[in-house]
Amino acid sequence: MTTQTSTISRFAAVWALQCFGALALLGIGYWWLTWPDEQAWQLLSSAVVAVLLLIAFVWLEHKVFSEVDQQRRTIVGRAISSYVAFAIWLGCFAVLEALLVKIWSGVEQTAVRVAQVLHLPPRATTSVLDWAAWGLVWIVLPALLLPVGSVLARSGSGPLRDAFCALGNLRYWVGVCLALLVGAYVPRVLIDWTPERATLNGEMWSAVLRLGLAYILAVTAVVFVSWNTAQTLPQNPPDNSTEVRSAAA
């Protein structure tokens, strides 16, 4: 098997894992939300399932970030430190995104005040600040933190200086922008697009097809950006001693 064929096969396997794995977690999560919580044992079982879902999500995303790296995945892909470090990174990433989204929700009020102080057109000021906040949430923060997550998924502890190599690589930024276009902008257009149909059945099939295509594009973008990030990181040679210990175990 050639290197190109191996890369395509590995990408397809990771894509299938992300696609069906995330779909399964969404289905289980929706089912979990319908559970009653009137008694103590129901609350306890609900908390246990919530923790299991969180662990499964971390495992799934770790596999997506680690399996794209051909040299390191068989050596440290199952290391506990790698999972713990990646989980901490994923939690910090989620918290920062949530904080930025909350700040984004108040951009309109801030824009009005800025326009009043600087005597600027309110509509133009709101538009500029809104686009700036959008870029900060969906471009700047993910682009800065994705290499760190990829490094942690590879080795668990570093070297984090490898992440700066990706930030200085033009290919990395082109991949991030392409993933943003395919995985965020196009799905949003598909979801907001509501073509007129003569029947309710036609409307339903239109919604199913648009949501399905949007989901596939989002999954493809996630796998692509993780793969592209791994390709822009320094390809450190595997540690033979670690490989021997891993094979012996």
Structure token pair of residue 11: 């990408």
pLDDT digits (tens, 9 = 90+) for 179-191: 888 888 888 888 8
CA distance 146 to 101: 18
The H or E element containing residue 147 is helix 141-155
- CA–CA distance, 63 with 75 (Å, rounded to integer): 13
Helix 170-180 crosses helix 141-155 at what angle (to 10 degrees)? 110
CB 145 within 8 A of CB 225: no
Length of the chain: 249
Tens-place pLDDT, residues 77-88: 456 778 888 899
Whole-number Å distance between alpha carbons of 107 and 103:
7
Residue 242 pLDDT grade (very low, low, confident, very high; cuts 50, 70, 90):
very low
Q: What's the whole-number average pLDDT of the chain? A: 79
The answer on pLDDT for 7 being more than 80 is no
Q: 73: pLDDT confidence band, cut at 50, 70 and 90?
A: very low
Mean pLDDT across 15-34: 90
Distance CA 147, CA 228 (A): 10
42-51, 60-69, 215-224, 233-242: segment of lowest average pLDDT: 233-242
Residue 162: partners with Cβ closer than 8 Å, 6 or more residues away: 147, 151, 233, 234, 236
Selected residue with higher pLDDT from 246 and 62: 62
**99-147: pLDDT as tens digits:** 988 888 888 888 888 888 887 888 888 888 888 888 888 888 888 888 8
- For residue 53, give both structure tokens: 């879902």
Query: Could you give phi then psi for residue 132, rounded to 5 degrees?
Result: -65, -45
Is residue 239 over pLDDT 70?
A: no
